[in-house]
Amino acid sequence: MTAFALFLGEKAERYIELRHSLGYSFSKQAGTLRAFVSYVERAQFDAPATGRWRWTSSCRSAALPTARATRHGVLRRFYEYLAVYDAQTEALERRVFPRSRAIPPPRILSEAELASLIDACARISPDIPLRGGRWRC
């Protein structure tokens, strides 16, 4: 294991602790950062941290554009934190991977489905009859 991998692992754990202390759950992102550190350890990269390491598109889940964008975003924010401790750390581009913002087509209800939905709204709160009537309207 290189000295840089040890340094990176220590800073990643401190970054995760910092995010937890700020109130973020940060569980998936912590797993992402730990996977990045193990990638750097296996590849035996040396300092500085750069954007030329093709980690964001290297694993199976990275086939989805949104997954690549999410991994890159986690790594980009970690690089900003890491730059405080290692001035040679490169800043990663903000919009390298486009996110999929596909909006599903609207679903048009049939007359029977609409009538069923309205009837279900009337029964939403048997204890408070006005609530059901309000939802039905």
DSSP 24: -
Listed range (35-44, 51-60, 62-71, 78-87) with the worst mean pLDDT: 51-60
What is residue 91's three-state secondary structure? coil
Query: In the predicted model, what is the mean pLDDT of the chain?
Result: 84
Where are the chain's structural domains?
A: 3-82, 107-137
**Cβ atoms of residues 89 and 73 within 8 Å:** no
**Cβ atoms of residues 132 and 123 within 8 Å:** yes
Pair of tokens at residue 35: 């996977």
Burial of 83-98, coded b for 16+ CB within 10 Å and e otherwise, reads eeeeeebeebeeeebe
Report the distance separating Cα 44 and Cα 36, nearest Å: 12
Which range has the top average pLDDT, 25-34, 42-51, 118-127? 25-34
Query: Given this model, what pLDDT does residue 16 score?
Result: 95
> Which residues, 6+ apart, have CB-to-CB distance to 51 below 8 Å?
90, 92, 93
For 97-117, the pLDDT digits (tens) are 766 666 778 889 999 999 998
What is residue 35's three-state secondary structure? helix
Listed range (17-31, 81-95, 123-137) with the worst mean pLDDT: 123-137
